[in-house]
């Protein structure tokens, strides 16, 4: 059997055949704040080779970019749109299974005022200005603009089955060549699977079939899929994508390259209210450590419940706990946390080193975690209305500190300043050492929350903002900004389940161990220990400024 497309391109990359300059029409038209990461450049180099030099390329390519959650797939989409525009494509169909992702993506693609806007303030290709527009139909659109139709796959299927005036129809795809961009594309595989759940059976007649029908309408259509979680363990799905995965950048590679937070599983034999209080204290500790180092960071907590009713009840419990918070309650929490090194460090820093009384700390927490700074996203209508706010949690004027949710944020949520996830239920679905579906979904949520919060380290001015800096300096205070804490109850079987799930997804380092070395008392009395020094070298890249040849 011939090798897969991924392996074929891996072999080409090994011998440097894919290396190329990224065209200025791409680089010059992305937002100025965007610097392509090495793996994003690799993805674009593969794309350029595939389009320009790959002899086996079909006229209507169907490709998958299988890339880790948080790796910047949307930036890659924007770059591909720019490249395809210079190749003569004007019409783009962006579709996904979730309405809230649509609103977030529109904001990122179309709103220059958004902090996450993807394009330059003025896009110019072939020395001509290019507008980027959202359109309802491709009929009579501008031939000089980038025209994007945003839709859910469900809505698209409905419009194909029951066409309406001034809406996209099957004829649009027959008359115009279109680039189809599918986000969270693993949802498109219901028809490929041999065995379907009831929900997948309902989707079978719509999602994958509709996409296939549209794709086949024009000989020059393209279908570009993006996801982090396609099920390649499924034989039929693996066969479907054998010649379609152009780039595979796993979550394990993403973590090992330093682009994610480290995961700390925190289990406590405490009721949910106390775990929420612990997370609140740690969140405020992060904010204070950041401020002490001249950094702006407003940490966010996700309170995860099993059902919508439980989520509402937990929100009410949290509001009552914050309203009644006192110095005595915080001191009691501190007393119960003596064996918790991280929480003890937080209390020591805030109360002992910063000289803040328990009563003052309680007053501060009441203000920072007041009801207006708490969001519940379980109502679909509220979520849609607040999607822009939810997409801008890092902004300086966004003071949301806590989000209550069940599963509305499992996909399509781009957040960098989520540092705590509190699991407010105590069930497990793992059996016979196999990871259950719910636990795997929780692991994927952790992966989404583990996106790194970029910052400039005062003690490492040359270090990359977007990568971890303190893997070997666990006692450095800023290390707390490189960790995601997952709070759950003391349940050893569940902890084993979630560890297994995180290992499967690549988010947990299987080799890392924290080892504390203690010096013998007689060594501490030697001259070497008391007077001498141990020097450690550090490698600093020589910029070679002014060096030619």
Residue 304: CATH number of its domain: 3.40.50.300
Answer yes or no: do 312 and 208 share one domain: no
Answer yes or no: do 182 and 292 share one domain: no
Residue 547 within any structural domain of the chain = no
Answer yes or no: do 105 and 219 share one domain: yes
Domain finish residue from 249, 283, 305? 249
Residue 332 within any structural domain of the chain = yes
SS3 category, 466: coil
Residue 139 within any structural domain of the chain = yes
Q: Tell me the residue range of the domain where 106 lies.
A: 5-249
Residue 540 within any structural domain of the chain = no
Answer yes or no: do 210 and 117 share one domain: yes
Q: How far apart are CA 268 and CA 424, in angstroms?
A: 12
Q: How far apart are CA 37 and CA 523, in angstroms?
A: 47
Answer yes or no: do 233 and 276 share one domain: no
Do 184 and 128 meet the contact criterion of CB atoms below 8 Å apart? no
Q: What tens-digit pLDDT sequence spans the chain (549 residues)?
A: 467 999 999 999 999 999 999 999 999 999 999 999 999 999 999 999 999 999 999 999 999 999 988 899 999 999 999 999 999 999 999 988 777 788 888 989 999 988 899 999 999 999 999 999 999 888 878 889 999 999 888 888 887 877 777 777 787 788 889 999 988 755 555 445 555 566 555 555 566 778 888 888 999 999 999 988 777 777 888 888 899 999 999 989 999 999 999 999 999 888 999 999 999 999 999 999 999 999 999 999 999 999 999 999 999 999 999 999 999 999 999 998 888 999 999 999 999 999 999 999 999 999 999 999 999 988 777 666 677 788 888 999 999 999 999 876 666 677 899 999 999 998 888 777 788 888 888 888 898 889 999 999 998 989 999 999 999 888 899 999 999 999 999 888 898 889 888 888 888 876 666 666 778 878 777 877 777 777 777 666 665 555 555
Residue 102 within any structural domain of the chain = yes
Residue 512 within any structural domain of the chain = no
Q: How far apart are CA 452 and CA 290, in angstroms?
A: 15
DSSP state at residue 348: I
pTM score, whole prediction:
0.84
Answer yes or no: do 341 and 490 share one domain: yes
- Which of 170, 183, 245, 246 lies closest to 212, judged by CA? 170
Residue 254 within any structural domain of the chain = no
Does an H or E element contain 73, and which? helix 73-86
Answer yes or no: do 225 and 301 share one domain: no
Number of domains in the chain: 2
SS3 category, 240: helix
Answer yes or no: do 165 and 60 share one domain: yes
- Which of 167, 289, 185 lies closest to 227, judged by CA? 185
DSSP state at residue 186: G
Answer yes or no: do 434 and 498 share one domain: yes
Domain finish residue from 249, 275, 290? 249
Answer yes or no: do 206 and 328 share one domain: no
Residue 522 within any structural domain of the chain = no
Answer yes or no: do 28 and 126 share one domain: yes
Domain finish residue from 249, 270, 291? 249
In angstroms, what CA-CA distances link 364 with 259, 315, 327, 393, 456?
A: 32, 19, 11, 20, 27
Answer yes or no: do 184 and 301 share one domain: no
């Amino acid at each position: 059997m011939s090798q897969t497309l991924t392996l074929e391109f891996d072999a080409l990359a090994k011998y440097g055949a894919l290396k190329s300059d990224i065209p200025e029409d791409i680089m010059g038209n992305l937002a100025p704040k965007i610097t392509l990461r090495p793996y994003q450049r690799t993805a674009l180099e593969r794309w350029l080779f595939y389009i320009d030099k790959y002899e086996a390329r079909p006229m209507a390519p169907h490709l998958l970019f299988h890339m880790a959650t948080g790796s910047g797939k949307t930036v890659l989409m924007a770059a591909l749109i720019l490249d395809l525009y210079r190749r003569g494509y004007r019409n783009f169909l962006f579709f996904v299974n979730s309405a809230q992702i649509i609103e977030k993506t529109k904001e990122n693609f179309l709103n220059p005022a958004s902090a996450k806007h993807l394009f330059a303030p003025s896009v110019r290709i072939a020395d001509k200005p290019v507008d980027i527009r959202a359109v309802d139909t491709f009929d009579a659109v501008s031939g000089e603009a980038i025209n994007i139709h945003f839709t859910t796959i469900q809505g698209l299927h409905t419009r194909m089955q029951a066409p309406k005036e001034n809406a996209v129809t099957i004829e649009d795809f027959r008359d115009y060549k279109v680039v189809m961009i599918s986000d969270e594309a693993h949802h498109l595989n219901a028809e490929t699977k041999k065995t379907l759940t009831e929900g997948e059976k309902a989707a079978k007649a719509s999602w994958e079939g509709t996409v296939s029908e549209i794709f086949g309408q024009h000989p020059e259509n393209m279908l570009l899929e993006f996801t982090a979680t396609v099920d390649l363990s499924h034989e039929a799905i693996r066969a479907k994508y054998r010649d379609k995965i152009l780039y595979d950048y796993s979550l394990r590679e993403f973590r090992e390259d330093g682009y994610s937070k480290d995961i700390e599983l925190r289990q406590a034999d405490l009721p949910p209210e106390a775990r929420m209080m612990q997370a609140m204290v740690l969140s405020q500790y992060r904010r204070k450590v950041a401020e002490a180092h001249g950094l702006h960071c407003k940490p966010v907590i996700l309170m995860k419940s099993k059902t919508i009713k439980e989520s509402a009840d937990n929100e009410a419990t949290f509001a009552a706990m914050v309203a009644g918070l006192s110095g005595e309650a915080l001191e009691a929490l501190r007393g119960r946390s003596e064996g918790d090194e991280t929480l003890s460090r937080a209390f020591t820093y805030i109360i002992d080193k910063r000289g803040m009384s328990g009563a003052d700390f309680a007053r501060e927490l009441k203000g920072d975690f007041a009801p207006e700074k708490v969001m519940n996203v379980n109502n679909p209508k509220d979520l849609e209305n607040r999607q822009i706010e939810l997409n801008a949690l890092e902004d300086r004027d966004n003071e949301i500190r806590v989000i209550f949710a069940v599963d509305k944020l499992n996909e399509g949520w781009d957040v960098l300043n989520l540092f705590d996830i509190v699991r407010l239920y105590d069930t497990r679905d793992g059996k016979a050492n196999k990871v259950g579906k719910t636990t795997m979904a929780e692991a994927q949520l952790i992966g989404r929350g583990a996106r790194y919060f970029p910052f400039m380290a005062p003690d490492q001015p040359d270090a990359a903002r977007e990568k971890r800096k303190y893997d070997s300096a666990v006692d450095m205070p800023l290390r707390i900004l490189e960790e995601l804490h997952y709070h759950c109850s003391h349940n050893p079987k569940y902890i084993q389940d979630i560890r297994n799930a995180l290992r499967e997804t690549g988010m947990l380092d299987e080799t890392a161990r924290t080892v504390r070395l203690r010096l013998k008392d007689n060594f501490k009395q030697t001259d070497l220990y008391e007077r001498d020094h141990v020097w450690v070298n550090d490698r600093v890249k020589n910029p070679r400024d002014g060096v030619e040849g």
